Structure 1
């Protein structure tokens, strides 16, 4: 009989779904007793309710672009003792999600659940918590609840897609946590998670990302010189960050380099960038792209990445040995990703005095500075995350086969 794995994701930013696809890709190459593992990605918010999905997913996107400080305030409030870990299970949203997931588990009967977003894992933890609570009913109410919660919630794995923790991720019912680095493991241990539950496999990326064409071919196709220092400016899948203002700062730097700008799915931003390039005097060769599926090629062909520090963007830059300068971020997890990168010496952060212009000039004038950043990157990057997660799933499934 085949084994089934559900991967619970959500479309709040691109990273959760990309991590889910990377894990699915690897799991589908595995088998138990010669039978392939079935693997399905569930967009959790869409499963619950399309309206809710639009409110939460688009709400995240809009707040990231237009009101990042407000988003950061909500993020920090949810980390306070007023809303502490393990206490998200009883709110209306997670209870509503739990009802939907109960039906999913009844129909799908998965053997393992992997979560790349905290919301579905909170809801599933709600089911598991109540399942355990009513295992021995003592009254009619408990008997009813035992019948309602009479579902098998299988082992659950949470994959943290940032280089930090948040109280929403931490639930007693989670069996394993996958984190990006040993520093993140220590953060979870500090929050009371058992050390043996935490695996420092890294954040998963798809295998196709790890291969790329040669730099000369890629830059030539973009109308750029393979021999000139290349800076990539971007701001995530929906173009968040002060990209237009940052581009002007780059154009005004009196050094010889070329620029790639990626605006993602934000067509309005691309139009504004094109207008700014036409009106602002400069001597730089600039290539402007919208959404692209060639990030594996582009990141392998540049010298410096100027961006906001999303979890997957950060991971991809680390895997391609690309030093980062971070002039903007969404307060919350991205700010803490930047803390991680800075503490590891893998990225430079701008300040009021240490501007993008100052930092980039030093990197251009002294290439050894770039080499230092690259050495630090090599010391923290982690390959084979997806493979290690898949092997952990196999271990869980094999253990489940053994007689109790």
Structure 2
């Protein structure tokens, strides 16, 4: 009989779902005693009801875009241990999720559960605590739990005693978890999972020509995440004014309004730089391998993809909360540079263009910390546990 694995995700930003799909892809390549592993991704917010999913998912997106400071404040409040370990476990939202998860577990009887978002893992931890005699012969069984951290930090909501294994993005994150009281034996420093297909890419010349850009010119990529957060408009304005010879690719993501505004603004003026504006694209593996510098906010998956591609980042904006802590991580590793009042985007970019050795220095730092077999490592851990 084939083994079954559930991957619990949530649509608050694109990273959790993409990490879930990366793990699923690798698990489905594996087998135990000649049997393939039955693997299913469950969106934990949609599982409760459509309204809850819409409120939380769209609420995150709107907060991140329009009230980032308020979002950061909520993040810091919820990061207090007393909130994570007590408040979340006792609230109505967690009670509802516990009820839905209990039914899901009874119906599907999984052999192991992986979480790429803390919400379902809090609920599962609550259930595990409620049934202390939990074992495979119990009338209600909660299988081993693996929690995958999709940022280079550890928010307190992830810290639950009932979790069997934590997948951390870096050795620094491992030490953060240990400082929060997690047993070192529970922590696997594998990285943040990315689809294996992301490692492949086409020739730079072909990719840039398709985008209307010159293959032999220094290329700067500007992004703001899947929904175009961050002050992209002002960033582009500053880039245009820099007296250096380079071209610009802007990716607006799913923010069609931003894309239209940028295109109209570009059409109205004449610049000495070639500028290409793109909406949502599935060709990030090609693009990140074809540009020289990335200017973006440091989301967990964005950061990981840049590390895998050894692409230096300049970070002029971020959503307060995990992205701020991702930026701390990148800065501590020398894998990205951040703007400030004196060290503006203009100052930083000019130095990098004029001194290619600075770019190579950042790339060497990235090589020292990047991890690119994460999903496969997680799949192998699953085999070790349930095989």
User: Using the alignment, how far apart are the partners of 2:171 and 2:134 within structure 1?
Assistant: 37
What aligned pairs does 1:267-306 form with structure 2 within 5 A after superposition?
A: 267-306=256-295
Look up the SS of the partner of 1:132 in the other structure.
coil
Look up the SS of the partner of 2:132 in the other structure.
helix
State the partner residue of 2:323.
Answer: 334
What aligned pairs does 1:216-365 form with structure 2 within 5 A after superposition?
A: 216-365=205-354
Q: TM-score, normalised by structure 2?
A: 0.98
Look up the SS of the partner of 1:308 in the other structure.
coil
What aligned pairs does 1:100-111 form with structure 2 within 5 A after superposition?
A: 100-111=100-111
* Deviation (angstroms), 1:279: 3.2
What aligned pairs does 1:43-62 form with structure 2 within 5 A after superposition?
A: 43-62=43-62
Q: Note the alpha carbon deviations across 1:301-337, whole angstroms, 9 max, x for none.
A: 0000000000000000000010000000000000000
* Deviation (angstroms), 1:383: 1.5
User: Using the alignment, how far apart are the partners of 1:110 and 1:343 within structure 2?
Assistant: 40
State the partner residue of 1:143.
Answer: none
What aligned pairs does 1:173-252 form with structure 2 within 5 A after superposition?
A: 173-252=162-241
Aligned residue pairs total 385
* Deviation (angstroms), 1:345: 0.2
User: Using the alignment, how far apart are the partners of 1:2 and 1:361 within structure 2?
Assistant: 57
- Does residue 1:19 correspond to 2:29, yes or no? no
Kept in 2: contact 1:118–1:169 (CA 8 A): yes
* Deviation (angstroms), 1:278: 2.4
Kept in 2: contact 1:86–1:172 (CA 8 A): no
Look up the SS of the partner of 2:248 in the other structure.
strand
* Deviation (angstroms), 1:282: 2.0
Kept in 2: contact 1:86–1:170 (CA 8 A): no
Point out the more displaced range, 323-332 or 215-224. Answer: 215-224
* Deviation (angstroms), 1:133: 7.0
What aligned pairs does 1:110-189 form with structure 2 within 5 A after superposition?
A: 110-132=110-132, 150-189=139-178
Kept in 2: contact 1:252–1:282 (CA 8 A): no
User: Using the alignment, how far apart are the partners of 1:244 and 1:391 within structure 2?
Assistant: 44
Structure 1 unaligned spans of 5+ = 136-148, 399-404
User: Using the alignment, how far apart are the partners of 1:334 and 1:133 within structure 2?
Assistant: 39
Going from structure 1 to structure 2, the CA distance change for 1:299 and 1:134 (only over 3 Å counts) comes to closer
Look up the SS of the partner of 1:232 in the other structure.
strand
* Deviation (angstroms), 1:150: 4.3
User: Using the alignment, how far apart are the partners of 2:49 and 2:280 within structure 1?
Assistant: 27
User: Using the alignment, how far apart are the partners of 2:310 and 2:147 within structure 1?
Assistant: 27
Point out the more displaced range, 280-289 or 112-121. Answer: 280-289
User: Using the alignment, how far apart are the partners of 1:252 and 1:301 within structure 2?
Assistant: 23
Going from structure 1 to structure 2, the CA distance change for 1:117 and 1:84 (only over 3 Å counts) comes to closer
Q: TM-score, normalised by structure 1?
A: 0.93
Kept in 1: contact 2:134–2:140 (CA 8 A): no
Going from structure 1 to structure 2, the CA distance change for 1:84 and 1:106 (only over 3 Å counts) comes to closer
Structure 2 unaligned spans of 5+ = none
User: Using the alignment, how far apart are the partners of 1:371 and 1:102 within structure 2?
Assistant: 51
User: Using the alignment, how far apart are the partners of 1:280 and 1:184 within structure 2?
Assistant: 46
User: Using the alignment, how far apart are the partners of 1:4 and 1:27 within structure 2?
Assistant: 10
